[in-house]
Amino acid sequence: MITWVSASAGSGKTYSLVEEIKNLLTQNILGEEILCVSFSNAASSEMKSRLEKHSNTILFHTVHSFCNTLYDNCTLIDEVQSDRHIRRIIENALQEEDWHNLIYLLLDEWGNLIDKIINIIQQDILIKTEENDSFSYDPIIFPDYVLEDLRNGKEIEKKLIAIDCNNIESIFSIIMTKDGSLRKKLYSKKWGEFYQKSKDWLDSYFDLMGKKFTEYSEYQSKLRSNSLGLFINYIQNKYKSLKMKENLLDFHDLIKKVDFSDYSVLQKIMKIKYIFIDESQDLSQDQWSIMLNLYKEIQSSNKCDLYIVGDEKQNIYTFQNSANSLFSNIKNELKSYAKESEIIFQEKHLNNSYRSSQCILDFVDKTMSKTLYPTKHLSKMNFDGRVELHCDESDKMLQSMIQKIIELRNCNLFSQDKKIDFDDILILVRKRNDSCFRIINQIQNAGIPIQEHPFYIYYNDSIQNLLNIAKFSLFADYVALTCLLKNEFFQWDYEDLEYFFDKAKNTPSSIVNKNNTNQKKQNSDYKISELQKLIDEWKDYPKNIIDFFGSLIFKSDYGKYLLKNNYESVKVFWETVNEYGQDSWIEFFDYIKNSKKVIKSNNGIKIKTIHSSKGLESPIVMIFDDIKYSNNINMFYYNNYIIFPCKNNETYNKILSIATYNEEKEQERLIYVAITRAKEQIYIFTVQNKLHKLINECEKNNEDVVTIFGSELTKNLKKLL
């Protein structure tokens, strides 16, 4: 028999699954005949804790740990270990001169590309590359009469004089917008009427440059795609060599290796008669392949029952190759298999909530009614609820949230006859970013205890910049320097970097030529001169970790800049540096990469990302979302090709449309996960984004929801109400 259970949030899916297993045990089914598989270690441990008093021989595993039991002659590495190996290979490769140009090409996107690169490598994919197109440009010099007329204009016209006709990127930066359109106002109407001849020449020039921009964009897109593709293949080969040398298998290797018909494997699996899969909506294609092949192999010889529990509305791990469409596709595949094999296939739906009040559930249903996942929940709990929506500017929202926490301390819970404690409150955020540090800092300043600070500091941009300075100053890491110089403080562009490295190698640079006005060269020379002063200063800092960062943060201009703009992040980093307090730099870099600032209190509020909140519940949930979602996706992997943005590329636009749609659907599922964590009260603090738009469309006529808007409410939004 195959049982497929669709279980909404709070519907008691774990309880239902546990009761099924307990029922089997009362029928004298042996524990070793039951395999329980969960997506996460936490869920697996939860299942084990509920059942171990009934049987200590039940097999509890994640997909990964189960596969690990099948082979003894190699070392199986998990996703975290695999990630660490690949990152180290990438870091070493980027020190090689052959790949320095890749960093220049992709510097703006590099930080966001690393995870995608690792994901492709872990899937053992060989990237296809094409021959690069050529691009030619013959400089068009402004006629003297045009330059003279521009000088006679006002500020808007005089900006055009700065165009370096020999530098096509300089031209585009002045006359084109970021989305590839010609700027609407490059000169005033009055100037154009007075200098008609110059206006006509400029219009013709802008039209030509607009066409050239399209050509150049396509050239750059293919160049970046091929360069990154070659790099990924290079890292892929290095990774394979490492695994072969050290006899390692990662998860993808294991999937290819697993052969359930192999006699040694068969001996280990044939005793299994019942397979339970929890959190099934989060499994990837590869993980599903393992579990379905396991089931079918056992079923072909012995009777085996399969029990699957999941909820497509809670699939929020698409970045780990779990696709929402996959969930329904697997369900249809199993239906077909059951029919062909004459096996009973039954479906169950769990929509009654044993967590939330009806007020909360009505809010959930109305919110989800405008999505692909309409719901109808019924509460089994008998207490009141409350929902508040706050929309304002980010800083004002944070103060409103803190004030709300303080106010709630004087109130009683609806579900219990007791005052609200801090640990009754769960704050959910969208991502680990600077806002997280700001939230934590201001909450602590308000005297509110935090149960745990869960955020990794390594992924903060300001911290990355501090680490890059250390890597360059101490280890001459030029990749780290290159990444550093593109930030808002230094503001180097591609030409500056090219000139800097060519000058260091004593080779001619394209920045210098006969027709160049030399203004760009002078600017680059000035930047290099200022940088050299900083480098000399950094290299004079003490070499021990605490004193080095103490000098950098508190004495240098750059440190003062970071303290002014990212105080909370830098403060947490400085505390971590002092906690480490050792002299081994290599160990320090590893330490900081895996470090998270943990602040514990017996009675403190909880702060989690939405992704890490799955399976949790709290009487009061506060959602703080100050991220204005955008559809700027910097790279796609498609059909074994790397594809970078290119406005006029039909393939890119097609994939972008699909990816944008999928991203919007995932945002809807994230919203569902967030708002279903609450038992009795939800307080949402949001700027204008997907969350705000979705909720307002659904709740504008809902009298049960308190809506509070601040100064960020626009005329367009007022029309919604």
Task: Output the known binding site for ATP.
Answer: 7-14
Residue matched to tokens 């200022």: 530
Q: What's the CA gap between 424 and 557, in Å, rounded? A: 43
Please enumerate, by residue number, every residue annotated as part of a binding site: 7-14
Decide: 165 and 139 in contact? Cβ < 8 Å. yes
> If DSSP codes are grouped into helix, strand and coil, which group holds residue 260?
coil
Collapsing DSSP to helix, strand or coil, 631 comes out as coil
Instruction: Kindly report each contact of residues 217-221 with a partner whose C-beta sits within 8 Å and lies 24 or more positions away, as own/partner.
Output: 217/180, 217/646, 217/647, 217/648, 218/133, 218/646, 218/648, 218/649, 219/132, 219/133, 219/134, 219/135, 220/644, 220/646, 221/643, 221/644, 221/645, 221/646, 221/649, 221/652
What 219-224 contacts at long range (C-beta under 8 Å, 24+ apart), as own/partner pairs, is 219/132, 219/133, 219/134, 219/135, 220/644, 220/646, 221/643, 221/644, 221/645, 221/646, 221/649, 221/652, 222/130, 222/132, 222/133, 223/105, 223/132, 224/105, 224/106, 224/642, 224/644
SS3 state at 709: strand
Give me the helix-helix angle, 650-675 and 358-368, nearest 10°: 170
In degrees, rounded to 5, the angle at the alpha carbon of residue 564 between the alpha carbons of residues 558 and 566 is: 90
Q: How many CB atoms lie within 10 A of CB 696?
A: 19
618-625 vs 425-429, strand pairing mode: parallel
The token pair at 139 is 């400089």
Which residue bears the tokens 């996703």?
79
Contact 618, 680 (CB under 8 A): no
Neighbours of 296 (CB within 10 A): 14
Q: CA nearest 315: which of 348, 341, 285, 294? A: 285
Q: Can you tell me which residue has the tokens 């239906």? A: 335
How many CA atoms lie less than 13 Å away from 92 in the CB half-sphere? 10
Separation of alpha carbons 192 and 141, rounded Å: 20
Indicate the pairing of strand 305-310 with strand 274-277.
Answer: parallel
Distance between terminal CA atoms of the chain? Answer: 51
Phi and psi torsions of 629, nearest 5°: -60, 140
Q: From the CB of residue 719, how many other CB atoms can be counted at a distance below 10 Å?
A: 7
DSSP three-state, residue 307: strand
d(CA 175, CA 186): 7
Output b/e per residue, 562-591; b: 16+ Cβ within 10 A: bbeebebbbebbbebbeebeeeebeebeeb
Helix (H) or strand (E) holding 374: none
Cβ neighbourhood burial of 682 (10 Å; 0-12, 13-18, 19+): buried
